[in-house]
Structure 1
Amino acid sequence: MGVIYRMKFLTRTIWLLSLVSLLTDLASEMLYPVLPLYLRSIGFSVVLIGVLEGVAEATAGLSKGYFGQWSDRLGRRLPFVQWGYALSALSKPMLAVLATPWWVFAARTLDRLGKGLRSGARDALLTDETTPATRGRVFGFHRSLDTLGAVLGPAAALLWLALRPGDYQRLFLLAFLPGLAAVVVTLLVREKPREPSPRPVRPFWATFSYWRQAPGAYRQVVGGLLVFALFNSSDAFLLLLARQRGLPDATVIGLYIFYNLVYALAAFPAGHLADRFGPRRMLAGGLLVFAGVYAGAAVARELWVFGVLFGLYGLYAAATEGVSKAWVSTLCARPDTGAALGTFAGLSSLASLVASITAGLLWQWGGPGLTFGVAGAVAGAVALYVALIRLKPVPFQA
């Protein structure tokens, strides 16, 4: 009974949105660990893979802040959520049509546009279902189910490729099914009436205008996290490193499944700890774990070392992903939640464009040791900043 009582903060909307994320991540993660291997098989260089991932994340970035503030202005979240998941679902079968670079770019960009369309609105919907005392747990629970899809997806891909080696095209078609199921589940979500934000919707090219209006504490926290994001390249580089060090494809995918399993199991407890002890400590600790993982990756050779590193990487993700959103959502007024979270996610995605391209260039110039060493050093510095920063008082709270 005590467990049931403590879980009462999980409303119907939180459960449904978490299920939608699970199904969508199942679809996306059936392809994500396979995609860099597939891209290499059709002639993509490491640099071009970095450009592809960077452009895809930049597309999400340019749209997250814009659509987030648009949902604030309309006082509606759900249409953005529904259409965003629909676009991501449609991108999956596109990869089965042609195996040319420009078409792969188009499909990946459509997927990320869907993410940009839905992210700020979905996170604002989650925030509307929370109190300040439960925010970390709600975002942690959502991340747990989201990441459970990232466990099931690669496992399904691994099984498929074991039965049909090299049959990527049909795998891309198969990934459409859970994506379609996610869109259907969004039709069951009901949105609470809310007052539209009085702030006007800025043009697309001014999508991050909220930054100038945001409280100082918001800019302090998000600014530090953006410095980290500038060196936090796509996870595809970790997978490529494991493959380059001689691990077979099936083992690489297995490591990715293990990472996501640890992430899924740890995300909800991490959110609970953030509610109890504060998000600052969780974030700083998570960034230190990241620094250790990347320092170890620079010299890792044996399978067991990679196993330890991928497990720790799952703990880092659990301690930072949902916790950072929960913290940022407390540093803005409730009517501006969509813009605040969308701007944070959007700027982070743009930083990932720089990070992924930089990682590819550093890899080509100085090898993977340089790529991972630089990122680990920056993560350690940002962890220190997060731990010691004195935040300016926030003048308004929901």
Structure 2
Amino acid sequence: MKVPAKDKQAISPWLTRNLVLLTLVSLTQDAASELLYPLLPLLLTGVLAAPPVILGVIEGCAEATAGVTKYFAGRWSDTRGRKPFVGAGYGLAAVGKIVIALAMAWPAVLAGRVIDRFGKGIRSAPRDALIAASVPRQALGRAFGFHRAGDNLGAVIGPLIGLLALSLLNDNLRAALWWAVIPAILSALLVLFVREPKRMRTEEDAFQEGQDLGIKAVRLHSPLPKQFWRVTIVLVVIALVNFPDVLLLLRVMDLGFSTTQVVLAYVLFNAVNTLGAYPAGVMTDKWPRPYIYAVGLAAFAVGYLGLGLVNGGAGVFICIAIYGLFPAFTDGVGKAWISSLVHDDHRGRAQGIYQSLNNGSVLVAGLLAGIFWTTGAGNGVIPLLVSGTVAGLAAIALVAARFIATRPR
């Protein structure tokens, strides 16, 4: 029996065309990125003979580039349209991967990663604002959870394609890198089918939405609400302990695991992330977001502390799996949290600010971790233990703060 269009909308009003398309776009791009990502430590420290600190420098600079561009792209997309930024960003990501595949020295890898992340910076906030504008406000959590699940599925598929490439190409690392270019180009082409929602909003509509959110003014350049800034500052400070995942893969490699095992560890991490992202999104639509975010931080703490303490064996994979719950319970949850604090006309700017500051924290964390990894003892044990401990304390603090704020007086 054919279901009328109106009934379909009533059944799943949040699963819109744009959400599905943008999820497929992210899935294919992430398949390309994550095919390449676990091979970067092998390319840099093996083929190109770069020291471990270079990993931290490259990833820190790449994330800083993404962070700066996220702010401006998010702000401009609120007035200039969001789809053009999304398309340009995914196109640049494909160019960056070509540069890495051609690299003969680590500065070329740096250039490729910067181009790639510049594209990410251009697309991320406008894309997330597009998602938020395409679904009902009460379904923001599950929408971002669905998107993150699709994105993470690409992160599972990508490394597996990488392993297949290495197997078919007799472990030819450079040839395998070229396989990442194909899904990256497909991702950019899929953006052509995304529709820019028409925002037919009157001043009275905007004012009323602002009143519902406790915002006094909703003009284009009006200040963002204080609650947005409070949440953003807390999450950005917490992110200072989150150094690039490429260093975790280096830790696995330092513990004596083979190239295939390192890639499989990354597949496991992304598989857990994929399975957890949508349920976390659904939970954050029902329960207080600080509690859901704290679950992710607790997983971070266990994963980091475990990787710092184990010396090999199955424990490494257990820690990686637990750590996979961290992005599952924080990435989409954080974006939904931020989107819920502002109205649609400011979502690009809000996401840009939040994501750019978050990337700045990752830059600082990456540089510090890279330095301690190179100069300290134990192949990264110290930064892992310090970050894990701080994340655990942050989880407790989030839960306690929420409990105190809602306790009857």
TM-score, scaled relative to structure 1: 0.91
Aligned partner of 1:278 in structure 2 is 288
Find the residue that maps to 1:33 and give its secondary structure: helix
Partner residue of 2:365 out of 343, 355, 369: 355
Distance 2:200 2:355 in 1: 23
User: Once the two structures are aligned, what percentage of the paired residues are identical?
Assistant: 38
Which whole-Å deviations, capped at 9, do the CAs of 1:226-268 have from their partners, x for residues lacking one? 1121120000111011110111111111011011111111111
The answer to whether the aligner puts 1:382 opposite 2:394 as a matched pair is yes
More displaced stretch, 274-283 vs 80-89:
274-283
Aligned partner of 1:251 in structure 2 is 261
CA positional deviation for 1:119: 0.5
Distance 1:365 1:102 in 2: 22
Change (3 A) 1:311 1:7: farther
2:36–2:159 Cα contact (<8 Å) kept: yes
Aligned-partner residue type, residue 389 of structure 1: A
Partner residue of 1:370 out of 382, 386, 393: 382
Partner residue of 1:30 out of 30, 35, 55: 35
The answer to whether the aligner puts 1:125 opposite 2:135 as a matched pair is no
2:169–2:176 Cα contact (<8 Å) kept: no
Give the total of aligned pairs: 380
Aligned partner of 2:139 in structure 1 is 134
Distance 2:275 2:295 in 1: 17
CA positional deviation for 1:211: 12
Distance 1:59 1:256 in 2: 24
CA positional deviation for 1:365: 3.1
The answer to whether the aligner puts 1:323 opposite 2:333 as a matched pair is yes
Distance 1:317 1:212 in 2: 32
The answer to whether the aligner puts 1:65 opposite 2:93 as a matched pair is no
CA positional deviation for 1:385: 3.0
Aligned-partner residue type, residue 256 of structure 1: Y
CA positional deviation for 1:154: 0.2
More displaced stretch, 284-293 vs 140-149:
284-293
Distance 2:342 2:10 in 1: 29
Aligned-partner residue type, residue 247 of structure 2: F
Which whole-Å deviations, capped at 9, do the CAs of 1:91-125 have from their partners, x for residues lacking one? 11222223112211111100000000001100000
Aligned partner of 1:307 in structure 2 is 317
CA positional deviation for 1:366: 2.7
Aligned partner of 1:396 in structure 2 is none
Aligned partner of 1:204 in structure 2 is none
1:227–1:382 Cα contact (<8 Å) kept: no
Aligned partner of 1:343 in structure 2 is 353
2:13–2:136 Cα contact (<8 Å) kept: no
CA positional deviation for 1:212: 10
Distance 2:230 2:394 in 1: 12
Find the residue that maps to 2:386 and give its secondary structure: helix
Aligned-partner residue type, residue 280 of structure 2: A
Distance 1:130 1:32 in 2: 31
How large is the Cα RMSD of the aligned pairs?
2.4
Partner residue of 1:48 out of 54, 59, 64: 54
Distance 1:137 1:326 in 2: 9
Partner residue of 1:188 out of 180, 185, 193: 193
Distance 1:294 1:93 in 2: 32
Long gaps (5+) in structure 1: 199-209, 394-398
CA positional deviation for 1:390: 5.7
Distance 2:107 2:359 in 1: 21
Find the residue that maps to 1:9 and give its secondary structure: coil
Distance 2:101 2:329 in 1: 36
Find the residue that maps to 2:38 and give its secondary structure: coil
Aligned-partner residue type, residue 50 of structure 2: F
Distance 1:54 1:134 in 2: 33
Distance 2:304 2:146 in 1: 26
Q: Could you say which structure has the larger radius of gyration?
A: 2
Aligned-partner residue type, residue 51 of structure 2: S
Distance 1:251 1:371 in 2: 23
Distance 2:225 2:313 in 1: 46
Aligned partner of 2:158 in structure 1 is 153
Which whole-Å deviations, capped at 9, do the CAs of 1:334-369 have from their partners, x for residues lacking one? 211001011111111111111001001122233322
CA positional deviation for 1:381: 2.5
The answer to whether the aligner puts 1:106 opposite 2:118 as a matched pair is no
Runs of 4+ off more than 6 Å: 1-5, 195-198
More displaced stretch, 296-305 vs 114-123:
296-305
Aligned-partner residue type, residue 96 of structure 2: S
CA positional deviation for 1:333: 2.5
Which whole-Å deviations, capped at 9, do the CAs of 1:46-98 have from their partners, x for residues lacking one? 11110000000000001001110000122x11000001000001111222223
The answer to whether the aligner puts 1:332 opposite 2:342 as a matched pair is yes
Distance 2:313 2:29 in 1: 30
Aligned partner of 2:95 in structure 1 is 90
1:197–1:335 Cα contact (<8 Å) kept: no
Long gaps (5+) in structure 2: 204-219
More displaced stretch, 2-11 vs 315-324:
2-11
